[in-house]
Amino acid sequence: MNNKEELIREQRISEAMVNGYVGQQGKFGFILKWLGYPIIEQSYSESGSDLFNLDVYETVDENKLSELSESTEAREIGWYFDGLRYGSNIDMKYDNFIKEIKVTHNGKIVYKEEGGELLIYVPSPIWENQIESLCYIAKKVETRRKSFINEELKRQIKEKKHSIYKDLNEKWGI
C-alpha cells in the first residue's frame, strides 16, 4: 500500500468511527440486532452434514413438510438485514465466525469490516442518511421490545409469587 492510499484509509477509519459504524456495537450492528434476522445453519446428522450421504434417487413428496430429526442441529451463524421493507435498497450481513460486517447499497459494497479491521468504506450521503433513518426505526423497535419484555417479566414474577403463596397456604395454612 502506498502512502496516499494509507492516508485515505486512515481518514476513512476516522470517519467510520466518528459516524458510529465501527464494530458490532456500531450502527450496523444495532440495525441488525433489532431489525434483522438470524442466519441459521442446520446439520442433519451426528457428524455434521449429510451432503455425502444423500440418496440422489430418493423421491421427494413436494406436498409433505420437511421434518427435523432428533439428530438435527441448528446454530446461529450470523445476522441478515434487508432494507427493502423499509423503502431502502440496503443489505447488511454479519458473519459470526469471521466477524465480518458487510453493507451493500444498490448492490455495491459500501462498507466492509472483518475481524475489527475496516476494509471498505465508501461514504455517501445517500446511503448514510438511510442508515440514520433505519437507526431511528431500530431504536423505536428496541424501546417497544424492551417494554414488552419488562411487562412479561413483571407478569412472570407476579405469577411466581402467587404460586409460592398458594403452596405455602396449602401446606402450612399461611
Interatomic CA distance for residues 137 and 132, integer angstroms: 9
Residue 61: pLDDT above 70? no
How much is the pLDDT for 48?
47
Contacts made by residues 11-19, CB under 8 angstroms, sequence distance 24+: 12/118, 12/121, 12/123, 13/118, 13/121, 15/121, 15/123, 16/111, 16/118, 16/121, 19/128
Q: State the pTM of this model.
A: 0.72
What domain range is 145 assigned to?
3-172
Grid cell 450502527 — which residue?
Answer: 27
Indicate the number of domains in the chain.
Answer: 1
Interatomic CA distance for residues 44 and 67, integer angstroms: 11
Q: What proportion of the chain, given as a percentage, has pLDDT over 70? A: 83
